[in-house]
Structure 1
Amino acid sequence: MTSFELTRLLPADHFARALREDVRTGLTADDKWLPPKWFYDKRGSELFEDITRLPEYYPTRAERAILTERAGAVAAATRARTLVELGSGSSEKTRLLLDALRGLGTLDAYVPVDVSESALREAGEQLTLDYPGLSVHGVVSDFTAELGLPRSAPGPRLVVFLGGTLGNFTPAERARFLTALRAELAPEDAVLLGTDLVKDPAVLVAAYDDAAGVTAEFNKNLLNVLDRELEATFDPEAFEHVARWDAEREWIEMRLRSTRTQQVAIPGVELTVDFAAGEELRTEISAKFRREGVAAELAAAGFALHEWWTDSEGRFGLSLARPA
């Protein structure tokens, strides 16, 4: 029987409190920073969808190509009864896996986990129409803090974490996240992990600094979020978008560079922040990976890498791992 239910694990004031804490911590640091999760208000989410369609931005197309080719192999290897997706959003790419598992005859339930209740509700209600008999249990959760996987979901379970989002975490954050995920899984469960791969720095930088300026607008929109939510006085036009490859850490950094000396008031946290001309605020890291590095990080968290797939150009990797 088709059903849709929603579980909220976040208190009503979660995002307001988290934003204030991140702003206080990040904007008072010697090297100013903010986490990328604050990009994604309504306008930010729309801009990111635009980014995924840009010619320079290959990750979405590359990951979809792998899923198109390998979804059947993933289904056969896992025979999952429950598909769990972390950071599910619109759940569009996930349909390739849902179709493969349903075709195999094993699929009973889909558990999308996301911070956006509206996205979960919209996607979940549509999926119950498109997949008769599928049980959809949306979980409103910040999976960086609490996974919140439903205990009642039938196993084996396949947990997918796509889009290269793991790369937005520092190495220490990745270790904590993967270790916490391993603690939630049974021996028969599996994880499918999407990671962008190290490649020509020119290709990488172009993906985060497109010719049309969409990524620049996306980056500056973070300042609009602070202005709206915390009554801040940021002028997005007083900052310029910067995308830089860090060869030592093998990650892309997105930054906002102050074009002049300025002072910004943030009444919502009772803070005034000074920016020197040329001073930068880091808004995102996006780590790029190599197969041996992914395998090592998985092993350190208690997983064993079973399958590794890339697109035809070797730009993006999908890893299928199981508890070791």
Structure 2
Amino acid sequence: MILVLRALGVGDLATAVPALRALRAAHPDRQLVLAAPAWLGPLVELVGGVDRLLPTDGLDRLDRPAGRVELAVNLHGRGPLSHRLLAAAHPGRLFAFANAEASHVDGPDWDDDEHEVSRWCRLLGWYGVPADPTDLDLRRPGPVPAVSGVTVLHPGSKEPAKRWPADRFVALARELTGRGHRVVLTGSASERAVVARIAYQAGLPAAAVLAGRTDLAQFAALIAGARLVVSGDTGAAHLATGYRTPSVVLFGPVPPARWGPPPERRRHLALWAGARARPEWDGVGVHPALVDLGVAEVLAAVDEVEQAVRVDRAVAA
């Protein structure tokens, strides 16, 4: 059995797809068990290659799976807690970044500035398992009811620093609607009130508010069939990358060089004002790099990715 730890969120799982597929290809006859939150189950199905999900929330506890763990792979972090959690399963071997505190020196050094996708591919490569960082495409969802052809605006984020100001989403929704986009707004159930206010102020109907009304499978289907996604650095952006849905991703505290879409994919454009002069941030509220992004700049990015789509279609015709 191969036990892989990645007990995080949607974007975290999406960025680990190349590494998971590399492990599947390297060990086709071994059961691959992924330790991740149970609610990610529908997305795990869309990754493919994972035989079983071991429900795991964070690093408080890891239930030991039945059977012998021949290989444990830490795709969660640099350790020591995650290393020790996997070591408690008594694996025959552990693939992980070097961490002296966890008494694990058999691994490469961690690089804080590395892109999240490349990080895990490099880890496996160090152990002789080749991984393709471009292998990010997700399986298409099954027949899950979802609106198609819409423009998805995703204003929310678990981290306040990553939330582009709501009034700018209002202005963006108005402008895109005027251009003929069918705009819907997504988010979690806890974000529904904020999203509903954005929709109301933008003149959108109540039916455009999908926050809290889709489960993960439906949300993935919505992104897969969308015309465009505009989002902060969240799971929605990573799903758009996985489905090659045109997207504009707004970055704040973390630069796109670490979490952004592949730069060679013209349908995905990351915006980051981090290189501009800006006031020091006290860690409260929206990050200044996001505040520096105006509506006009986002609309220009929308034009650019939609032009890329038109070119791709013309070439394919």
- Give the TM-score normalised by the residue count of structure 1: 0.33
Which fold has the larger relative contact order, with Cα–Cα distance below 8 Å and residues 6 or more apart in sequence?
A: 1
More strand by share: 1
- Give the TM-score normalised by the residue count of structure 2: 0.33
